[in-house]
Amino acid sequence: MSTPGRVELTLFGQTLTVRTEAPAEYIRQLAGYLEERVEAVTRGGMRDPLTALTLAALDITDELFRARQDQTRQEGDVGQRIGALVEMLDRIAPGPTPPPRP
């Protein structure tokens, strides 16, 4: 396991230091994404920075939950398709027949 590093960020005019094992550029991408989402809420008319940040966090959380649901649904679809293929293969090429009993 690698040693956590420190990444300094400026978010909404506030400087933060984050301890993380993730690459600094990745953390900066996350911060940039958050700023974009907050700016979108602000463009929608929200003036209070804390409320804008909270609404952006809820929106990002919704996005995460929907992505997880989609992934779970896709995994289920793949499992069903594999099961159907196995059944088809069993019908086309059944397994070996057991030897006759003496």
pLDDT value, residue 98: 66
In a domain, 87, yes or no: yes
In a domain, 102, yes or no: no
pLDDT value, residue 56: 95
pLDDT value, residue 76: 79
In a domain, 101, yes or no: no
Strand partners, 77: none
Amino acid identity of residue 78, one-letter, is V
Range of the domain at 88: 5-92
Conformation bin of residue 50: beta by default, left when phi > 0, alpha when psi is -120 to 50: alpha
Instruction: Give pLDDT tens digits along the chain (102 positions).
Output: 567 899 999 888 889 999 999 999 999 999 999 999 999 999 999 889 889 999 999 999 999 999 999 888 887 787 788 888 788 777 888 767 667 777
Terminal Cα-to-Cα distance of the chain (whole angstroms): 61
Name the domain count of the chain. Answer: 1
pLDDT value, residue 62: 96
* Torsion angle in degrees (nearest 10) through CA of 53, 10, 47, 44: -70
In a domain, 66, yes or no: yes
